[in-house]
Structure 1
Amino acid sequence: MALGGFARAAMDYTQHVNVFQGTTNGGNRFPGVIAAPFAMVKLGPDVQKGNTDAYSGYLPEGNVNGFSLMHESGTGGAPKYGVVSQMPVTGNVTNPLSDLSQPRASADQGSIGYYKSSLASGVAVELAATEHAGLLQYTFPSGSTQSIVVDVSHVLPSFRGLGWEQHYSGGNFSFFSDGHYEGFGTYNNGWNLSPDWNVYFCGRFNQKPTVSKTFLGTGPTPASYDTTSFVSGTQRLGGVFVFSESNITSRVGISYVSTTKACQNLGDEIPESRNLQELVENAKSKWNSDVFSKIQVSSTNDTELQLLYSSLLGMFMIPSNLSGENPGWSSSEPYYSDIFTFWDTHRCHTSLFHIVEPVAYEEFIRALIDIWRHDGFMPDARSSNFNGRVQGGSNADNVLADAYVKGVRGAINWEDGYSAMLTDAEKVPPNNNDPKAPDSSTKEGRGALPDWLKYGWITPKFTRAVSRAVEYSTNDFGLYQVAKGLGKKADAEKYLNRSRNWRHHWNPNATSNGHSGFVVPRQANGSFAPQDPLSCGGCYWGDAYYEDNPWVYSLNALHDIATLKKYSSGDSKFVDRVDKLWDLKIFNAGNEPSFTSPYLYNFVKGEQYRSVERSRQIGRLYNSGPGGLPGNSDAGAMESNILWQMIGLWPMTGQTTFLILSPWFPSMTINLSNGKTLEITTKGGNKDTAFYVQSLKVNGEPWTKSWVTWEDIFANGGTMDFVLGESAAEWNTGELPPSPASGDQ
């Protein structure tokens, strides 16, 4: 069916969404209920199978041990949240601390705003939600005893043995004469190594329990389990409720602030009169209006439509909009958390976030700056209201620079934004003594800054020295962009020069497979350490390169590509260097440092067609099924990648440049802010076999450049009209894309 004309506004795009996309094969996507983009409540099942980490709570096989209201999506490292949980049990619960988990009788079902699990016990559990509250609808088998266990100590465990597992520290639980209950849990650790944090809850049922009990204990049996209405302490605790009827509706509100706020959220968002179907319809309407309707295509291929709209869902699950739910400080500014992580998302996610959700994006930028105001640093990652962990550079700098050069203003205080960036660039963060990287802070900022300031490179005394140096260079380029825009000429010159420091790691004598010159570790005395360009050791926290090898990081100074071409001995060697990522089986589409590498051919005249070929190769690694992502979703980074392939562009973060690829659809409309649109059309080709660009018009004018700018097509809308064909054509004979840090070669 073609999505065109007057039907667009009323179109239900959710029919094309598979909420289980990317939930297996390492994608780690969350398939449960998220009632709106960035909603705080993410309600779904928690599943355990042996010692397998369930990063989002979900596994396709294993036993369900609870349904909880808070999850992340697509993350690696270790699971986070899985808190505010309850579990239905048939029969009397003699020991709420025992294993109450159940296998599923059939595969889970889900769609936008709705989720259902059918347990082997005969209990059917249907879920719906709002932004700060969840609804759980239980249907028990007839003739059974109906019990619901609320376990405050429930968290998602980790079995990796890396010290990133979550801990329950304590809490309290109360039930009241009207049948409702309140309390909070305290938790800590997780991948970001956060200290204690609290989440508060307030729950009600549609019928008054016949029996209400609390429990408290640590061992195989509770130290107390009786009708006492209040328990508190560091032991496991919670409540058990027994009902006389088989159909039970449970409504729960949550808050980071207080039980009073949790009860308010519940009353405001899911009053007793609101039913499951109404919540489902509200969620569908919200996702349609806020996200799915922003990109419309002409297509009769439901496989492609499912990939498009399922990927859009995956992009906007996190971060979480916690405005009004910030327990750390009082502020009129928006507040967002659950950032996993800018190391993943700054490369192509945040630029599409800006286009699809511009209002939320401005709020998000303001929130980052406000975190700096109160916590001292912007996050590279943040969860449970705590910064951490930094994998490479201070990549919030890149995100702010990208927003600034593309004209995001609104209520943003850019002087404060620049000051936040300056903090990253000049202030050494206190060492948080991370066991995996004890040399410097992994909480925030640039831990290896002492070397960066002293030498202009990073010595091996700091972990991830080379990958950090490449990223610090792009971070400093971000400062240059904002300083230049704000008229800070001396700062602009300083940070432009510093953005070239990656060159200090370039060893022209390092060789591999017919190529000379790679970024390698450099000692304090200026000598280069021996380095095999095909090796990155363990490629992890303690190594010189993080999650990729010297071949990839040697192509990652994306603000200085002309220098890279010069260092690589010219155009033909540069093209071959990019080719070698495939010839040597180095390229990994699931690894973020590689994301832009396939499109660097656009920096050589006549070679854009190679970028298109790589784009199509990457596109074939995706589908809308459970195993449809080539790696962790990484908070939507992976999904934003395939969405840019469909659009036929690639963003250069921190610049206004978009590299031109080849669109998938005969026509695509991207709805921009203020009623403007970008219209992209193709003629004479198709996505799979005739995808080479033959010619292009931008805003009606013939176009021979392999790139466009924000101002060309996004700032005021625009058109891109492609003619495609089955064979490559050297159409890109015009000016090459900018290389803004290369002026001093």
Structure 2
Amino acid sequence: MLQNVLLPLLALVAKARGIDYTGYVNVFTGTQSGGNDFPGVARPFSMVKLGPDLLNNATDSYSGYHHIGNFSGFSMMHEQGTGGAPKYGTVSQLPLVGNITNPLSNITVGRAVADQGSVGYYKSQTTENVTIELASTSHAGMYQYTFPVSSPSNNVLIDMSHVLPSFRGQGLGQGYAGGHFSIMEDGHYEASGIYNNGWNRSPNWTIYSCGYFNITPTAAHAYIGAAAGSNNLVQNSGSATSTSSDVYIGGLYTFNTSIVSSRVGISWISNERACQNFEKEIPRASSFSTVVSNTKDIWNSQILSKIKTTSTNTTNLELLYTSLYFMHLLPTNQTGENPGWTSSEPYYSDIYTLWDLFRCSTALLHVLQSVVYEEYIRSMIDIWRFDGYLPDARSSNYNGRTQGGSNADNVLADAYVKGVQGQINWEDGYAAMVKNAEVTPLNTDPDPMAPDSSTKEGRGALPDWLAYGFITPTYSRAASRAVDYAYNDFSLYQVAKGLGKDDDAAKYLNRSRNWRNHWNTDLQSIGYSGFIIPRNLSNFIENDPLTDTGYWSDPYYEASSWEYSWGDIHDMRKLADWMGGPDTFFSRLETMFTIGADPNNPGGIIFDSTNEPTFNVPYLYNFIGRDDRSVYQSRKVAKTYNTGVSGLPGNSDAGAMQTWLLWNMIGLYPVTGQTTFLIHSPWFESLTINLSNGKTLQITSTGGDGNGDTDYYVQSLKVNREDWTQNWLTWNDVFENGGTMHFVLGAELTQWATGDLPPSPATEPITCRQLSKEH
């Protein structure tokens, strides 16, 4: 029943300021069925993500939004596409009608009609017949309320105790720990709230806010009261303060006019900064429509116009630009808003999480937003300088939770091997990586879901990794963490080699092969032998590789042995050899897409398109020269995406799903930590990517259907106008200085790629023969 407010396609024409690509963005895509996309208003990487918070039958609303339920507020801070547990839902307003006698009693109000939204604009209507319209900038938001004309009293509640709750029973529910609310002499309010916990288990953090209404209220009061809203007392001073989670703080403004607007700024630093933020970004004379229009312009000029196509297929255009939109909501650029330390370096938070993002998202961010990407790398190194470790995840200025390895290592290595320099101090960057690889993080606050080692940062299972070259069941997620740690060590090898640290390079290259110590050649599953499994000091611990998927306390995290056994792409030639050679490697890949792991789900398959550990699997055929199957299997998965409310196959994970889809549309797959990109097949007849350095990559194709639906097998390829016979290329070939790729596509399976296979740099050199490229 959701309704997306889009510009009519007929209006999608070249205007004085350029093409309006925002008309192709459906902000409600992936907001249901576990996608957790945030449909509210935001600018790229902005601190403010203003949208509704809804309560629905004790169901977690991770981004605040739910398609059914009651409004508990409209808050300034959210995260995009996250799971685990909700975060933020802070700095909230809620419009109410009538005489409000108990404002701090967790009031909710129903939804009257389906919400509407487009880029930069959001609209809701409550069952009290109040219309709420939202717009935002990077550090401020604008509320526009239209109350019923017949209402005797129109109110706006500001409740400092408001957060997004969690009902999953995992101990990750956010807490309120106090705050203050002050009504100033000119009628504006200044407030702060103290909060804690959420998916990253952070300790207390404070956010400041400053709000102005456009008209003078008939009454304005600050409130203080016991938890659950009982025995509220109006403070005659117009100010209320609490340092207790049991004492709620807030304010209530009452108006006798039907149209009211509110401008609110936020800051991690102070109320003064919060006021400055909205005065700078939404000055008093700003109209609501101007804020909306400016946001659209920013999305068009800075983000959506980075990729252009001549396609007229509306479905694919909506997929393209909607995916671009959602991948640019996180991380949050908090430069100048870091309460933890003083530094001239950029500062980015809300990294959720590099376990999800390192395979596809950070590589595409590098391509599309080179300035932001460099700042992002510098920020992570600065976090190490002052907090002690690189973040694998971070929110509310606090590292955590680390699901697997120290995957910031992979992100830094990817930037390094692709020549990212700018103002990055790579000696510091490498030192931060070495800290992850050599120093076990303290477990000062054990995670109830995995108390054996720190989940805050670093590599909690490092003692076993250093002592034995594998991880015993002393540590949770032992098998899956071994896969991650091997990948992380390969990343250290790449940077050490580039910096001329030869001894370190040799050490970390050897350590990157330690996944092999978890490989049980004898374990069989549905006719195949050899799997990554747990082990102790004397023997392997056998599980059923089809069904051994787990969670925080288990040997595998969110995927099975069948899935994790493909994980160490830097050593793929060794993996193919140990699986039994190219024929068995091929057959085993095919089995991923034909056999189900769950006997109760006969239509299911082992490959899980909803989760990141198998993002690379559809493309691994390239390593045995069967790129035609990479095209087929990946396209089959990609075509399950759509722009409906259930259009994502799984949780967005801060845009990870969207970036996997975008790479499929482009026709490449990035191998993080290397300069390698695996070639499959593009969707469009023409696609131009602005590389942010004045260069472009132009990808064209002939012979296909122009929509990526049929006739998508590669017949031949020219790269930079030269015949290309490898099913892979490097960063230097088409991204460093721009380039062209021209595909001839068709329905026939053609062995066009007769050149060398993709590199497997951790595999020992083969001296007697090359791995066969024939199936």
Under TM normalisation by the shorter chain, which class is it? over 0.9
Residue number among 693, 697, 704 corresponding to 1:678 in the alignment: 697
Q: Helix, strand or coil: the match of 2:412?
A: helix
Counterpart CA distance in 2 for 1:729 and 1:322 is: 50
2:119 — aligned with what? 112
- Answering whether residue 494 of structure 2 is matched by residue 496 of structure 1, we say no
Residue number among 30, 43, 49 corresponding to 2:38 in the alignment: 30
The code of the aligned residue for 2:145 comes to: Y
Residue number among 735, 739, 743 corresponding to 2:756 in the alignment: 735
1:10 — aligned with what? 18
Residue number among 415, 427, 433 corresponding to 2:446 in the alignment: 433
2:389/2:457 contact within 8 Å kept: yes
Q: What is the deviation of 1:6? A: 8.3
Q: What is the deviation of 1:574? A: 0.4
2:193 — aligned with what? 185
The code of the aligned residue for 1:229 comes to: G
1:96/1:222 contact within 8 Å kept: no
**TM-score (structure 1 length as normaliser):** 0.98
Q: Helix, strand or coil: the match of 1:83?
A: coil
1:1-400 correspondence to structure 2 within 5 Å: 10-34=18-42, 36-144=43-151, 145-217=153-225, 218-233=227-242, 234=244, 235-400=247-412
2:473/2:534 contact within 8 Å kept: yes
Counterpart CA distance in 1 for 2:523 and 2:765 is: 23
Q: Helix, strand or coil: the match of 2:586?
A: helix
Counterpart CA distance in 2 for 1:688 and 1:318 is: 31
Counterpart CA distance in 2 for 1:175 and 1:5 is: 47
Q: What is the deviation of 1:300? A: 1.1
The code of the aligned residue for 1:521 comes to: P
Residue number among 560, 564, 568 corresponding to 1:549 in the alignment: 560
- Cα displacement string for residues 511-559 of structure 1 (whole angstroms, at most 9, x for unaligned residues): 111211111111023x11122211225x100111111001111111110
Counterpart CA distance in 1 for 2:629 and 2:565 is: 20
Residue number among 633, 646, 651 corresponding to 1:627 in the alignment: 646
Counterpart CA distance in 1 for 2:136 and 2:15 is: 28
Q: Helix, strand or coil: the match of 1:559?
A: helix
The code of the aligned residue for 1:162 comes to: Q
Alpha-carbon RMSD across the aligned residues, in angstroms, is: 1.5
The code of the aligned residue for 2:756 comes to: E
Consecutive unaligned residues in structure 1, runs of 5 or more: none
Counterpart CA distance in 1 for 2:409 and 2:318 is: 34
Distance change >3 Å, CA 372–CA 72, structure 1 → 2:
same
Counterpart CA distance in 2 for 1:642 and 1:33 is: 23
2:578 — aligned with what? 567
- Answering whether residue 525 of structure 2 is matched by residue 521 of structure 1, we say no
- Answering whether residue 701 of structure 2 is matched by residue 692 of structure 1, we say no
2:545/2:560 contact within 8 Å kept: yes
1:37/1:316 contact within 8 Å kept: yes
1:215/1:222 contact within 8 Å kept: no
Q: What is the deviation of 1:714? A: 0.4
Q: What is the deviation of 1:227? A: 3.6
Counterpart CA distance in 2 for 1:2 and 1:416 is: 52
Counterpart CA distance in 1 for 2:77 and 2:692 is: 31
2:610 — aligned with what? 590
Counterpart CA distance in 2 for 1:179 and 1:244 is: 16
Q: What is the deviation of 1:9? A: 6.9
Residue number among 583, 588, 592 corresponding to 1:577 in the alignment: 588
- Cα displacement string for residues 270-326 of structure 1 (whole angstroms, at most 9, x for unaligned residues): 111111111111111111111100000111111111110000011010110000000
Residue number among 459, 464, 488 corresponding to 1:446 in the alignment: 459
1:24/1:627 contact within 8 Å kept: yes
1:4/1:298 contact within 8 Å kept: no
Q: Helix, strand or coil: the match of 1:719?
A: strand
- Cα displacement string for residues 180-211 of structure 1 (whole angstroms, at most 9, x for unaligned residues): 00011000011111000000001110011111
The code of the aligned residue for 1:178 comes to: D
Counterpart CA distance in 1 for 2:499 and 2:10 is: 46
Q: What is the deviation of 1:5? A: 12
Q: What is the deviation of 1:220? A: 4.2
Counterpart CA distance in 2 for 1:591 and 1:126 is: 35
Q: Helix, strand or coil: the match of 1:193?
A: coil
Distance change >3 Å, CA 285–CA 200, structure 1 → 2:
same
Counterpart CA distance in 1 for 2:105 and 2:178 is: 18
Distance change >3 Å, CA 172–CA 139, structure 1 → 2:
same
Counterpart CA distance in 2 for 1:7 and 1:510 is: 63
- Cα displacement string for residues 550-597 of structure 1 (whole angstroms, at most 9, x for unaligned residues): 111111111000000110111010011111111221111011001001
The code of the aligned residue for 2:56 comes to: K
Q: What is the deviation of 1:3? A: 13
Counterpart CA distance in 1 for 2:231 and 2:649 is: 45
- Answering whether residue 645 of structure 2 is matched by residue 659 of structure 1, we say no
The code of the aligned residue for 1:355 comes to: V
Distance change >3 Å, CA 599–CA 219, structure 1 → 2:
closer
Distance change >3 Å, CA 106–CA 180, structure 1 → 2:
same
Counterpart CA distance in 2 for 1:590 and 1:222 is: 48
1:519/1:553 contact within 8 Å kept: yes
Counterpart CA distance in 2 for 1:8 and 1:430 is: 57
Counterpart CA distance in 1 for 2:208 and 2:158 is: 13
Counterpart CA distance in 2 for 1:99 and 1:447 is: 40
2:500 — aligned with what? 487
Consecutive unaligned residues in structure 2, runs of 5 or more: 1-8, 596-604, 767-775
Distance change >3 Å, CA 7–CA 726, structure 1 → 2:
farther
Q: What is the deviation of 1:87? A: 0.5
Counterpart CA distance in 2 for 1:200 and 1:671 is: 38
Q: What is the deviation of 1:25? A: 0.9
1:601 — aligned with what? 621
1:3/1:297 contact within 8 Å kept: no
Distance change >3 Å, CA 459–CA 357, structure 1 → 2:
same
- Cα displacement string for residues 368-423 of structure 1 (whole angstroms, at most 9, x for unaligned residues): 00000000001100000000000000000000000111111000000000000000
Q: Helix, strand or coil: the match of 1:153?
A: coil
Counterpart CA distance in 2 for 1:79 and 1:575 is: 41
Q: Helix, strand or coil: the match of 1:560?
A: helix
Q: Helix, strand or coil: the match of 2:620?
A: helix
Q: What is the deviation of 1:216? A: 1.3
Q: Helix, strand or coil: the match of 2:544?
A: coil
Q: Helix, strand or coil: the match of 2:52?
A: strand
- Cα displacement string for residues 317-356 of structure 1 (whole angstroms, at most 9, x for unaligned residues): 0110000000000000000000000000001000001111
Q: What is the deviation of 1:228? A: 3.2
The code of the aligned residue for 2:554 comes to: D
Q: What is the deviation of 1:103? A: 1.6
Q: Helix, strand or coil: the match of 1:305?
A: helix
Counterpart CA distance in 2 for 1:306 and 1:530 is: 46
Counterpart CA distance in 2 for 1:666 and 1:706 is: 19
- Answering whether residue 416 of structure 2 is matched by residue 404 of structure 1, we say yes
Q: What is the deviation of 1:99? A: 4.5
